[in-house]
Homo-oligomer: A and B are copies of this chain.
């Protein structure tokens, strides 16, 4: 036991966070000791509040402190477009962009037979229910460009196609500001495949 107990407990707590090992945890814990008491109390309260007050929106599955969430309730949004993403974080990334004004559907995962995650383990049944009234005219599949994300997008598009709703996939290609030289082959091949006339 090198540390007094209160600090070793705090280090243990920090170590439960992703990407934080024993050295970083110790550094953070010592920093907390140097912080003002008010700031520490605020931090402590923020942890509990975030855990207790946040739930998932019963409509779209996004993280929220009101149900339905602000996006689902917002009457000014385009209710004919539905963007399907894997995680609440993805909704936030989309919202930061400010270019999309439709609604979202969060799957909370992707189909991954290797990990035993099938279509019914993620939020797909709810998605199909949402598509039953005729409000939604386009479903944009914005799952990640990974094997699991692609498989999920393919699976959903096949389910939706028969209903006649337009189903699109976000484009894959070179990231803006990226360098052709450093792009991996798959990205480059996707970029070539998705080329458009100017």
Whether the Cβ atoms of B29 and A50 lie closer than 8 Å is: yes
Interface range for A: 35 or more
A100 interface hit (Cβ, 8 Å): no
Q: Which of A15-23, A110-118, A140-148 contacts B (4 or more CB under 8 A)?
A: A15-23
Residue positions of A touching B, CB distance < 8 A: 2-7, 9-10, 12-13, 16-19, 24, 26-33, 35, 37, 39-54, 63-66, 69-70, 88-89, 92, 95-96
> Can you pick out 24 interface pairs between chain A and chain B where the beta carbons lie within 8 Å of each other?
A2-B92, A2-B95, A3-B92, A4-B54, A4-B63, A4-B69, A7-B54, A7-B63, A9-B42, A10-B47, A10-B49, A10-B50, A13-B47, A16-B39, A16-B43, A17-B28, A18-B28, A26-B92, A30-B88, A30-B89, A32-B47, A33-B63, A37-B52, A47-B47
